[in-house]
Amino acid sequence: MQSVVIHAEGTVRVEERPIPTLQTENDVLVKVVSSGLCGSDIPRTFAKGAHYYPITLGHEFSGYVESYGSAVTDLQPGDGVACVPLLPCLICPDWLKGFYSQWAKYEFVGSRGDGAFTEYIVVNRKNVFVCADRMPIDDGALIEPMTVGLHAFHLAQAAKENVIIIGAGTMGLLALQCARELGAKSITAIDINPQRLALAKTLGATYVFNSKEMSSKEIQTALEEIQFDQLVLETAGTPQTVALGIEVAGPRAQLALVGTLHHDLTLLSATFGQILRKELTIVGSWMNYSGPWPGEEWQTAVRLLTEKRIQLVPLIAHIGNAESFAREVQALNGAPMQGKILLKLS
């Protein structure tokens, strides 16, 4: 089978690998149809961020059940499934409390083990989520990134408030659409890219602001009429946007930190002081799981996609076969994606 393999120093190659076989009675062999590049895959590829090399990345994927072990009784060959990439331990205190992603020794498909930039993958039964028959199987590759924003809404219990999203990339625009469908009072998108802001407006943003053209104070002033009952989602994962989230937030807002930082964060004393003066609540959001496993986030994502309430096509920059996909990934050379890059397999 063809696999897109990452070697050290950011070399991306298409290689032939044997089709994996079932190892336990709880295993499922999935024929991969669509697999997406996550922003977290970029440092794994170009900044020595993977746990080992060579590695096949890919944790955002969908496909069809090919076969399964003797203990799997609720699947049929041909069932459409999406990946739930966290590998559960089932027995530790964190797991038993429902704190799935807090387990210190967690394993993860496509990060701490090989993933789905390949034609076939074997995963545990608990790592596949059955898709509705009416949902296009290709859409299943976007379930996992959708659930990241939905998890922040779950933690904050504030999807119906005035939602402010900082970072109008794929993650931010998925969260924006989820907020729209979950009944947010208003939705604000903040970014430095005019094209992304125009798309955010098309997808339902009430307000859009370019933080390259406006100061945080000017944006906060523009938001005075919705200054209360705010949930701010920081999805860009930069020190500047974390500070911006603090500065634009209204009194007693919740600030959900979703984006992963790859550089140290230093706050000015005046910015830190705003956390205190505004009495902000900081919500750390890590991954996308809640109890019962894998969580309501996954149910909601499948429902919204099945009901065709989320637009995915405008978020996709490239769809290609293994060779085309590998070239697109290599061409990034460590830079952020300007839209989702998808590997499409037969």
Q: Write the DSSP string, 144-161.
A: HHHHHHHHHHHHHT-TTS
Q: What is the mean pLDDT of residues 155-174?
A: 96
From the number of C-beta atoms within 10 Å of its C-beta (0-12, 13-18, 19+), residue 336 rates as exposed
**pLDDT band of 91, cuts 50, 70, 90:** confident
- Lowest-pLDDT range of 91-105, 150-164, 188-202: 91-105
Q: Is the peptide bond before 292 cis (omega within 30 degrees of 0)?
A: yes
Lookup result for tokens 């897109």: 4
Instruction: Answer whether 6's CB lies under 8 Å from 57's CB.
Output: yes
Q: Does the pLDDT at position 94 exceed 90?
A: no
Q: Does the pLDDT at position 8 exceed 90?
A: no
| Predicted local confidence at residue 155, as pLDDT | 97
DSSP string, 14-70: EEE-PPP---STTEEEEEEEEEE--TTHHHHHHSS-SSSSSB----EEEEEEEEE-T
**Which 3 state secondary structure label does DSSP give 104?**
coil
| Predicted local confidence at residue 185, as pLDDT | 98
Q: Does the pLDDT at position 103 exceed 90?
A: no
| Predicted local confidence at residue 297, as pLDDT | 98
Mean pLDDT of the chain: 96
Lookup result for tokens 């900081």: 282
Count the Cβ atoms, other than its own, within 10 Å of residue 47.
Answer: 11
For 260-316, write each residue's pLDDT tens digit.
Answer: 998 999 999 999 999 999 999 999 999 999 999 999 999 999 999 999 999 999 999
| Predicted local confidence at residue 90, as pLDDT | 77
The Cα–Cα gap between 221 and 329 comes to 40
| Predicted local confidence at residue 244, as pLDDT | 99
**pLDDT band of 104, cuts 50, 70, 90:** confident
CA distances from 291 to 282, 286, 294 (A): 22, 14, 6
From the number of C-beta atoms within 10 Å of its C-beta (0-12, 13-18, 19+), residue 91 rates as exposed
Instruction: Answer whether 177's CB lies under 8 Å from 328's CB.
Output: no
Q: Does the pLDDT at position 323 exceed 90?
A: yes
| Predicted local confidence at residue 92, as pLDDT | 85
Which tokens is 307 given? 């009901």
Lookup result for tokens 């005046």: 270
| Predicted local confidence at residue 284, as pLDDT | 98
- Lowest-pLDDT range of 43-52, 142-151, 281-290, 320-329: 43-52
The Cα–Cα gap between 325 and 29 comes to 23
For 189-218, write each residue's pLDDT tens digit.
Answer: 999 999 999 999 999 999 999 999 999 999
| Predicted local confidence at residue 320, as pLDDT | 98
Q: Does the pLDDT at position 88 exceed 80?
A: no
Q: Does the pLDDT at position 346 exceed 80?
A: no
In order of their start, the domains of the chain are 2-130+311-344 (3.90.180.10), 146-284 (3.40.50.720)
Q: What is the mean pLDDT of residues 93-100?
A: 87
| Predicted local confidence at residue 127, as pLDDT | 95
Alpha-carbon torsion (79, 80, 84, 85), positive or negative: positive
| Predicted local confidence at residue 106, as pLDDT | 83
Q: Does the pLDDT at position 253 exceed 90?
A: yes
| Predicted local confidence at residue 222, as pLDDT | 98
| Predicted local confidence at residue 89, as pLDDT | 80
List CB contacts of 60: < 8 A, sequence separation 6 or more.
Answer: 35, 36, 37, 38, 83, 85, 116, 141, 142, 143, 144, 145
CA distances from 235 to 3, 172, 337 (A): 30, 6, 14
Q: Does the pLDDT at position 77 exceed 90?
A: yes
Rg (CA), the chain: 20
